[in-house]
Amino acid sequence: MELRRALTPEDRQRAFEVRKTVFVDEQGVPIGIEIDEHDEMAQHVVIMDGDQPVGAGRVRMIGDTAKLERICVLASHRKYGLGRELVAAMEEIARELGAAGAKLHGQMHAEAFYLKMGYHPVSGMFMEEGIPHVRMVKTFPELEG
């Protein structure tokens, strides 16, 4: 497995393929909402298993906070720790961009996962594209210099 930043158009397309499979095909999110105006400016990551993309996510800055979005792993590759690696890599990008912390809209079924990653809920359940979500935040510790 290789986790890397999606810096080329080909890798960005690979990330979009994973997102389409998970969010559009599995969860029924309309493609016009899944691929949006924020993709152009966001930093993307992709996990490759050989030549197959199996995980993806994007990071974008809103003020001094990073928003982690579109975090997904193909069903065939879940439960192997790839989600944890994905979020950790996205947090590293966020720190490089100067973020003091991160926020995300986590699907309710993944709330325990994000809690283990140090995120805390700041909302009750809300619906986003027909899927129950919770807003979560994490403050990054000061790095010793």
Strand partners, 109: none
| Number of domains making up the chain | 1
Residue 117 lies in a domain: yes
CATH of the domain at 131: 3.40.630.30
Q: What is the pLDDT of residue 33?
A: 87
Residue 144 lies in a domain: no
Residue 37 lies in a domain: yes
Residue 38 lies in a domain: yes
Q: Where are the alpha helices (DSSP H) in the chain?
A: 9-19, 31-34, 82-96, 111-116
Q: What is the pLDDT of residue 50?
A: 96
Range of the structural domain that residue 24 is part of: 2-139
Q: What is the pLDDT of residue 145?
A: 52
CA distances from 96 to 44, 89, 99, 138 (A): 14, 11, 7, 16
Q: What is the pLDDT of residue 93?
A: 97
Over its length of 145 residues, how does the chain's per-residue pLDDT go in tens digits? Answer: 999 999 999 999 999 999 999 999 999 999 888 989 999 999 999 999 999 999 999 999 999 999 999 999 999 999 999 999 999 999 999 999 999 999 999 999 999 999 999 999 999 999 998 899 999 999 998 755 5
